[in-house]
Amino acid sequence: IGVETFYNLSINKSNGSEVILSNEVTLEANNSSLNFSGTNGYITLNGNDFTINHWSDGKITGYDENEFFIVDQTSFIKYIGITNGEKLNIPMGLGTGSTKYARADITLTNAGDGTFDANLCGQIQLDGGICTGTAATTKAVSYTWNFISTSNNAVVALYWDTSCLLYTSDAADDSLR
């Protein structure tokens, strides 16, 4: 996919197949949506941003731990036109498969007509860096969720696979709310 704007986008991939971006993509979500309609299919950002304009609840459907965005330390999923109280669903991970899935659900409580950018890094930084620096090796989840927002107040829920823990847990699935 090159530089392109879409209105209704359906990702129908299976068996670990990926749509790999070669340039930035925009989804004009006003009266349209993004649907992950396959089984085990992914959108790999490949260093390119994926922007969703005119966000409203439920504009991304069909995602789960086997259908999501694959992000890296440089590309972002960007949401534009968020209003107060809307819930951002951010289905993302650092590779294919359910153990790489690290979704975030975020409700901005003072968004105005705001923006929100999200990506992941594959380690926790001891020195406060986002994606560079000295990595933590114990008592952490091996992800850093990187969020940039015009809102300064939000309700956040983060989800990860227990294989990403750098400690022992008895929980079947871990999350932070």
Cα-Cα end-to-end distance for the chain: 35
pLDDT over threshold 70, residue 1: no
Residue the block writes with tokens 């007509």: 113
Buried b (16+ CB within 10 A) or exposed e, 40-51: bbbbbbbebbbb
Is residue 167 very low, low, confident or very high in pLDDT (cuts 50, 70, 90)? low
Per residue in 66-116, pLDDT tens?
999 999 888 999 998 888 888 889 999 999 989 899 999 988 888 677 788
Nearest to 58 by CA among 28, 92, 86: 86
Distance CA 77, CA 69 (A): 8
pLDDT of 66 reads: 93
Per residue in 10-63, pLDDT tens?
899 888 899 999 999 999 877 788 999 988 889 999 999 999 988 888 889 999
- What average pLDDT does the segment 140-157 reach? 82
**Sign of the alpha-carbon torsion through 158, 163, 166, 169:** positive
Higher pLDDT pick, 75 / 134: 75
Write down the pTM of the prediction: 0.85
Distance CA 159, CA 174 (A): 6
